[in-house]
Homo-oligomer: A and B are copies of this chain.
């Protein structure tokens, strides 16, 4: 049912040396013997238990150093029922935003003593295999970023007792914790920025239709435009990739009524759009303004100088870790927290009069 590797290494012989010449792993029993204490004292020493006399502690540590002992985190996990491993489920990283977030996460998580088991979802079908595997490995929690899971699937986790936190995503109506940028408010900000700068034919270049990120950005943008009496030109990018942005821009430029501003659902789409504009000889920002969302590192590259909404990634990650910390403590209801993005005005979009910078 659940697939697994069937190769199993033959049990090690009892002796100090295995047949193949590699030494058997040193255990706390070995250390105890050398230090002349009980195995439980070795355990206490390494688990930071205060109930060890300093002198004993030194003796144990010395013996451990001599033997090259490392505690077995797997064995510890079995009994503490806590692996200190967090599973991160990420989409295939077509967009550079993913690896950027992933790296910051692993760093911060390690600072808090947690390890990261990574599950990248190759294509959509693969997500099905991921959850069972993550559960098998007894991750303390699952952070799901940029992947949309069915509620049924999330239910499986919850029933298995594995907390799930959505990052950069949320599921309205579900009782599942989420940390997200306020995509709607950010998009509204872009609408105001563009309109204030005098644009009259703004377009929205969509990302994947089924992503909440795209949905909220589109909604925030369109609503604000509508409130100010301006219609939106919509064009599908379909995916968050450079190529998709390039192609969607080409279609927009081919219209009889091309836009004078394009708000792209994500930075990577905007980069493709800017390159397409460059190839078509469309002057940016004089003839066309382009705005993205995320503020990936490339946004500031001089070939692009992309005006965009910066997601407060560091803050969002800290909030996620805060959620993780509170997981064992309380039994509080899962919360959805939205963090505001900041508009970073660079060179790819005309600025409203009186804009600083």
Contact = CB atoms under 8 A, between A and B. Distances in A.
Interface in A300-357: 301-304, 328, 331
A8 B83 CA distance: 10
Contact of A48 (B6, B48, B85): B6
Nearest to A104: B120
Residue picked from A80, A103, A304, most chain B C-beta under 10 Å? A103
Residue picked from A23, A73, A276, most chain B C-beta under 10 Å? A73
A137 B74 contact: yes
Contacts of A137: 73-74, 85, 115
Interface size class of chain A, counting residues whose CB lies under 8 Å from the partner chain: 35 or more
A332 to B, nearest CB: 11
A122 B107 contact: yes
A2 B68 contact: no
A72 to B, nearest CB: 6
A138 B328 contact: no
A304 B85 CA distance: 40
A135 interface: yes
A36 interface: no
Interface in A59-94: 61, 64-65, 68, 70-75, 77-78, 80-85, 92-93
Contact of A271 (B21, B159, B275, B301): B301
Interface string A276-289: 10110000000000
A120 B108 CA distance: 10
A141 to B, nearest CB: 13
Contacts of A160: 25, 68, 70
A302 B304 CA distance: 12
Contacts of A278: 302-303
A7 interface: yes
Interface of A: 1-9, 11-12, 20-23, 25, 46-48, 61, 64-65, 68, 70-75, 77-78, 80-85, 92-93, 96, 98-100, 102-103, 106-107, 110, 112-120, 122, 129, 132-133, 135-138, 156, 159-161, 242, 246, 271-272, 274-276, 278-279, 297-298, 301-304, 328, 331
11 contacts: A3-B113, A4-B47, A7-B82, A70-B135, A72-B78, A74-B78, A75-B78, A99-B103, A103-B120, A275-B302, A303-B304
